Amino acid sequence: MRSLTNLSMTVIAASLAVSFFSSCRGGNNQTNIELIQDMMESPALKSQEYDEGAPNNAAMRVPPEGTQPQGFVPYKYTDAVAAAANQNPLSGQYTEEVLKTGTKYYTIHCAICHGANGQGGEQQSVAETMALKPPTLTSDKVKGWTDGQIYHVITAGQGVMGPYAAHIPQKYRWQVVNYIRHLQGKGN
């Protein structure tokens, strides 16, 4: 009886080994059988798609309250008067690197309305059609603003000018402020 058990165990082990090695054919390009659906490829939704199971049927989810992206520093000033106290960490730094970065972002985002030299929107095609013309950045009024006030207008907007916080990265806004000061004749 014992030899029959040993023999049957040997036959079972041999048949398992043969079936295992016969299934491992080299060069077989068949894909795996997916036992659990949607584990290898999850269904993807685009942000503006309709999602029946989501709140408001929108596929785009709102981040949980109180969360913020890594490296993001919230802007603490709510009005231009309070923002006047905001200190420019690059104050007086008119190096080639600071002005080069400031020039880049000013030219892309500001010059279309304020002019290439900060002279206002009178000479610019976009500003010519505006009912309320953009201010001249080289005027005595803007020269009298603190760096914090200029930074605040770039970040939060003012009047008909919308906020540029989403367009000009936080780390480059002070360089734009320094470039505006350079246009005003400081740091030459």
Q: Which two tokens stand for residue 65?
A: 């309250």
Beta carbons of 84 and 95 less than 8 angstroms apart: no
**Is the confidence at residue 43, as pLDDT, over 80?**
no
Average pLDDT over residues 88-95: 89
112-132 confidence digits (pLDDT tens): 888 888 887 556 668 778 888
Residue 91 reports pLDDT greater than 80: yes
104 class by beta-carbon count within 10 Å (0-12 exposed, 13-18 middle, 19+ buried): middle
Residue with the larger pLDDT of the pair 121 and 12:
12
CA–CA gap between residue 171 and residue 99 (Å, rounded): 14
Of residues 49 and 25, which shows the higher confidence score? Answer: 49
Given the structure tokens 């919308």, which residue do they identify?
162
DSSP per-residue codes, 3-69: HHHHHHHHHHHHHHHHHHHHH--TT--PPPP-SSTTSSSPPP--TTSB-TTSGGGBSSPPPPTT---
φ, ψ dihedrals at 75, nearest 5°: -85, 120
Fold of 95-183: Cytochrome Bc1 Complex; Chain D, domain 2 (1.10.760)
